[in-house]
């Protein structure tokens, strides 16, 4: 008794049944059907995005290049140099050297600030753990994904580079898109 596969069987589209004049006729018919299928692509128009000129919009939660933030009112840095992001980083690409804030030289809102904050983007895996680990929301993942460069040292982003308002190079997807 042959095995019956039951309802789980997936119908696979097969080639026309071969053999004889009937097979020839069926093959010819299938050829015409194929021609129709390809021709129907012309009125649809191309779906190509002309990349350097047009860009794929990213989703709001897209994890692109990192950004460091300042308080909007005081202009002080949010980062207090706690190194939690560096500890959370699985790729070990963040380097933080903290220093004390003084009344004359006040950089951040906390006691200490990050004197050095470097992210080696050639090692970063864009997992977003740094963003999750940060207690002050000082570091977030931005939307920029165009970060290729000619030299590896150029991919080490310093605090100044991460703090500046980035030049928005990637369009954001509208709600529900």
Partner 1 sequence: MTALVPLADVTYVEPWWMAILKSIVIFLVGLQILPVMIVAERKILGRLQNRIGPNRVGPFGMLQPMAEIVKFATKEQFRPRTAIGWLFAFAPVISILTAVAALAIVPFGDTVDIFGTRTGLYGIDVTIGPLYLFAFGAVAFYGIMLGGWASGSKYSFLGSMRAAAQLISYEVSQGLALVGVLMTAQTLSLVGIVHAQEGMWYIVPQAIGFIIFLVAGFAETNRPPFDLVEADAELVQGYMTEYGGTRMVAYLFAEYLNVLVVSLVVTTVYLGGWLLPFGIDPPTWVDPFVVLFKMSLFIFFFFWIRATLPRLRYDQLMGLGWKVLLPLATLNTLVTAVILVAVD
Q: Is 37 in the site for partner 1 (CB under 8 A)?
A: yes
CA distances from residue 109 to 32, 78, 89, 102, 158 in whole angstroms, order as listed: 72, 6, 24, 11, 20
Gap between the Cα atoms of 28 and 70, Å rounded: 69
Residues numbered 118 to 157 that lie near partner 1 (CB under 8 A) are none
Cβ-contact 92, 149 below 8 angstroms: no
Least spacing, CB of residue 57 vs partner 1, in Å: 19
Q: Which is nearer to partner 1, 23 or 90 (CB)?
A: 23
The stretch among 30-38, 81-89, 95-103, 168-176 that binds partner 1 (CB under 8 A) is 30-38
Q: Is 39 in the site for partner 1 (CB under 8 A)?
A: yes
Cβ-contact 175, 169 below 8 angstroms: no
Least spacing, CB of residue 34 vs partner 1, in Å: 5
Q: Which residues, in sequence order, are CB contacts of 146 under 8 Å at separation 6+?
A: 169, 170
Least spacing, CB of residue 25 vs partner 1, in Å: 11
Q: Is 46 in the site for partner 1 (CB under 8 A)?
A: yes
Question: Residue 141 pairs with which residues in a beta bridge?
Answer: 66
For residue 83, count CB atoms less than 10 angstroms from its CB and return exposed for 0-12, middle for 13-18, buried for 19 or more.
middle
Least spacing, CB of residue 3 vs partner 1, in Å: 30
Q: Is 47 in the site for partner 1 (CB under 8 A)?
A: yes
- Within 10 angstroms of residue 130's Cβ, the number of other Cβ atoms is 25
Least spacing, CB of residue 17 vs partner 1, in Å: 15
Q: Which of 17, 22, 24, 135 is in the footprint of partner 1 by CB under 8 A?
A: 24
Residue numbers at the binding site for partner 1 (CB under 8 A): 24, 31, 34-35, 37-39, 41-42, 44-48, 50
């Amino acid at each position: 008794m042959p095995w019956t596969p039951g309802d789980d069987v997936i119908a696979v589209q097969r080639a026309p049944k071969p053999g004889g004049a009937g097979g020839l006729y069926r093959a010819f018919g299938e050829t015409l059907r194929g021609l129709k299928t390809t021709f129907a692509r012309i009125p649809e128009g191309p779906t190509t995005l002309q990349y350097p000129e047009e860009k794929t919009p990213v989703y709001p939660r897209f994890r692109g290049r990192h950004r460091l933030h300042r308080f909007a009112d005081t202009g002080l840095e949010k980062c207090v140099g706690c190194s939690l992001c560096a500890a959370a980083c699985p790729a070990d690409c963040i380097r933080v050297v903290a220093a004390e804030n003084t009344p004359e030289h006040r950089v951040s809102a906390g006691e200490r600030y990050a004197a050095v904050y470097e992210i080696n983007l050639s090692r970063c895996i864009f997992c977003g753990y740094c963003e999750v680990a940060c207690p002050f929301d000082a570091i977030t993942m931005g939307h920029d994904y165009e970060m290729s460069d000619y030299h590896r040292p150029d991919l080490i982003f310093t605090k100044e580079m991460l703090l500046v308002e980035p030049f928005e190079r990637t369009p954001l997807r509208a709600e529900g898109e």
